[in-house]
Amino acid sequence: MTAATALIAEDEPLMRERLKEKLAEAWPELVIVAEVGDGDAALAAFDAHAPQIAFLDIRMPGRSGLDVAALIGSECHVVFITAYDRHALQAFDAGAVDYLLKPVETDRLAATVERLRRQLPAPPADLSALLDTLRTQATRPASRLRWIKAAVGKQVKLIAVEDVVYFQSDTKYTRVVLAQSEALIRTPLKDLLAELDPEQFWQIHRGTIVNANAVSGVLREDAERQFVQLKGRTERLPVSRQFLPRFRQM
């Protein structure tokens, strides 16, 4: 029997690598024909390789995973990759299309693989109703994140988002820095950004989001180098060039 083939489209390199590694464990025979980081590249890879399965991040630069699925969903089996959203999950559970939550967990992926093995001989599911539902949800005002479950030593603690001083990417994790402590979560920074209140949490760098209430000032070393200073903390957080305009009036 010919091995099944798949495409992975996920714009976070670490998340993409994590999914690839876990797929190798859960489905060793599966052949990953392409790994891409945006919607346009996903379409090009699909045209080049015609995989049977497409793992699509819902949020990607350019065309979203929903846009890509609308174009290729009748020709391959689609699995969406998404950050937690209870309304979206209800939409998935009501249909025949599978999804993976970020960060991808072993047990959930095993269930997805088993479902895909059963579905492969059949035609792909009709995505039209699901895509309509997800697009409608995407136009609604986003509910803001209020609590975070995070690892602190050997414990998992519930942290109020308003108590966070800043979030910072750290290899496979995101650091959650508080006034007197810090914790680690697996949620990518870009997914956090979509759920945080943009009036309170400002992205100042590709890898940093700061709580505006914790900012004491901005240190300008020159026209191109600025650093956010924090209340009650000694570290200085660099501001990348694209986010400098936010601080020019401070």
**pLDDT tens-digit profile of 81-106?**
886 555 456 666 655 578 887 768 88
Q: Enumerate the domain spans of the chain.
A: 5-138, 147-247
Give me the pLDDT at residue 250, please. Answer: 52
pLDDT > 90 in the chain, percent = 48
| Domain 5-138: CATH architecture, name and number where available | 3-Layer(aba) Sandwich (3.40)
215-220 β-sheet, strand order: 215-220, 226-230, 236-239
- Would you place residue 38 in the very low, low, confident or very high pLDDT band (cuts 50, 70, 90)? very high
Which amino acid, 155? Q
More confident residue, 46 or 187: 46
For domain 147-247, give the fold: OB fold (Dihydrolipoamide Acetyltransferase, E2P) (2.40.50)
The arithmetic mean of pLDDT across residues 165-193, rounded, is: 89
Q: What is the mean pLDDT of residues 178-185?
A: 90
pLDDT above 60: residue 249 = no
Per-residue confidence (pLDDT) for residue 198, from 0 to 100 = 82
Q: What pLDDT, on a 0 to 100 scale, did the predictor assign at position 137?
A: 66
Residues 6+ apart with CB under 8 A from 71: 43
Mean pLDDT of the chain: 86
Nearest to 18 by CA among 139, 215, 198, 171: 171
pLDDT level of residue 1 (50, 70, 90 thresholds): low
C-alpha–C-alpha distance, residues 34 and 32, integer Å = 6
Which of 65-74, 126-135, 148-157, 189-198 shows the highest mean pLDDT? 65-74
Q: What is the spatial distance between Cα 58 and Cα 38, in angstroms, rounded to a whole number?
A: 10
C-alpha pair distances (Å), 154 with each of 164, 167, 171: 20, 20, 19
Pairing of strands 31-36, 5-9: parallel
CA distances from 223 to 118, 176, 204, 248 (A): 59, 29, 16, 10
What's this model's pTM, rounded to 2 decimal places? 0.59
The pLDDT score that the predictor gives to residue 84 is 54
